[in-house]
Amino acid sequence: MLIEPKFPARVPIAYLPTPVERLERLSKHLGGPELWIKRDDQTGLATGGNKTRKLEFLVADALAQGCDHLVTTGAPQSNHCRQTAAAAARFGLGCSLVLRGQKPDATTGNLLLDHLLGAHVYWTDAKECNEATAGVMANLRAIGRRPYAIPLGGSNVIGATGYVLAMRELLSQLEAERLNVDFIVFASSSGGTQAGLVLGARVYGYRGTVLGISVDHPAESLSTQVAALATATATHLGLGTLSVVDLLTVNDDYLGEGYARVGETEREAIQLTAQLEGILLDPVYTGRAMGGLIDLIRWGAFTRGQRVLFWHTGGAAALPAFADKLL
């Protein structure tokens, strides 16, 4: 192990450690490597998800600065926005969500939960997210509030810190069970989760492959983004200048028709995982990542003797909003 990171303050939100389970029936069905799953859909915050780990550090930073209102942005069915609204509610903070596009006809899935959690929801319409968010921040300051801006997906050095710790947690669990995992596979989008995982892999000596399945960005641009964030996070944690470029693996073969566009890849993965394991994936992130993993298994990217862990980053709350695409 390298020097132990100097972790900043965090607030307790997530139910940790999240379970690691074997996907015995799915493994048998696919006839490939032995599959396992890390259940970050069970972090506990308003149906759970990976952003909860990030919010432990982000909310702590907001409170330390004396802020009283969280502001963030995302897509209409953003898991990150839903978890941010829940974290704000838990700590008695206000919350404003700036969602891309126009207000939909139906209020369902994560959007329904945003409202139930008391968030103020704004729509960008024709504006850019940054412009719309800046306007909301300015309005809050004008009425005497102290807003704290959280970037898309919570993906900055503060948020990524949560997944450095998550890698330490996983490796401790694997050591306790005497398990070796050859690949860790997960959905990658805004880059914070992958940056934390690869940095954690470097710090804590994970020798396998950390494979991000991109859900919306070309591999080259996502890799550049993750590498820069991981290096910045290393500096933030007192590790000096640390490169993780050699640990970065991004697969962009499963972008399909674009972000949040459900096709046969996602549909089959969601149905198989539900019907064989009783585990719900989401249509945008984990469904696409699991679909990619299933396809990679089918064309022989892994051997039968290997062990692959799928890191479930949550998102099942979005399923009702995609019912017409899933059935």
pLDDT digits (tens, 9 = 90+) for 168-204: 999 999 999 999 999 999 999 999 999 999 999 999 9
What average pLDDT does this structure show over 207-224? 97
Residues 224-241, mean pLDDT to the nearest whole number:
96
Domain boundaries, the chain: 20-49+155-326, 51-154
Confidence of residue 2 (pLDDT cuts 50, 70, 90): low
Confidence of residue 1 (pLDDT cuts 50, 70, 90): low
**Rounded average pLDDT over 279-287:** 98
Quote the mean pLDDT of the chain.
97
User: What is the average per-residue pLDDT within 62-66?
Assistant: 98
In this prediction, residues 117-138 reach a mean pLDDT of: 95
pLDDT at 158: 98
Among 27, 78, 189, 223, which one carries the catalytic annotation? 78
pLDDT in tens, 65-90: 999 999 999 999 999 999 999 999 99
Alpha-carbon distance 82 to 78, whole Å?
Answer: 6
Same CATH topology for 20-49+155-326 and 51-154?
A: yes
**CATH label, 20-49+155-326, candidates 3.40.50.1100, 1.10.150.120, 3.30.420.40, 3.30.450.40:** 3.40.50.1100
Across residues 226-237, what is the average pLDDT?
Answer: 97
Categorize the per-residue pLDDT at 126 as very low, low, confident or very high, splitting at 50, 70 and 90: confident
In 3D space, the residue among 240, 285, 222 whose CA is nearest the CA of residue 259 turns out to be: 285
pLDDT of residue 3: 77
Question: At a CB cut-off of 8 Å and minimum separation 6, what does 185 contact?
Answer: 211, 213, 289, 292, 293, 308, 309, 310, 311
Q: What average pLDDT score do residues 229-254 get?
A: 95
CA dihedral 157, 161, 167, 168 (to 10 degrees): 140
Q: Which range, of 174-178, 243-247, 282-286, 320-324, averages the lowest pLDDT?
A: 243-247
> Does the pLDDT value for residue 243 go beyond 90?
no
Residue 241: pLDDT over 90: no
Q: What is the pLDDT of residue 210?
A: 98
Topology of domain 51-154, CATH? Rossmann fold (3.40.50)
> pTM (2 decimals)?
0.97
Mean pLDDT of 201-209: 96
State the pLDDT confidence band at 119, using cuts at 50, 70 and 90: very high
Mean pLDDT on 4-27: 97
pLDDT, one tens digit per residue, over 38-49 is 999 999 999 999
The three-point CA angle 147-153-155 to 5° equals: 85
Interatomic CA distance for residues 58 and 69, integer angstroms: 12
**Where is 205: in which H helix or E strand?**
none
Question: Region 8-23: what's the mean pLDDT?
Answer: 98
User: CA 133 to CA 99: how far, in whole Å?
Assistant: 9
- The band of 242, judged by pLDDT with boundaries at 50, 70 and 90, is confident
Mean pLDDT, to the nearest integer, of 99-119?
97
- Is 78 catalytic? The answer is yes
Give alpha helix (H) positions in the chain. Answer: 24-30, 51-64, 79-90, 109-116, 129-142, 157-177, 192-204, 219-236, 264-277, 286-298, 323-326
Compute CA 275 distance to the chain's CA centroid, rounded to the nearest angstrom.
24
pLDDT in the model for residue 220: 97
Q: Above pLDDT 70, what percent of the chain?
A: 99
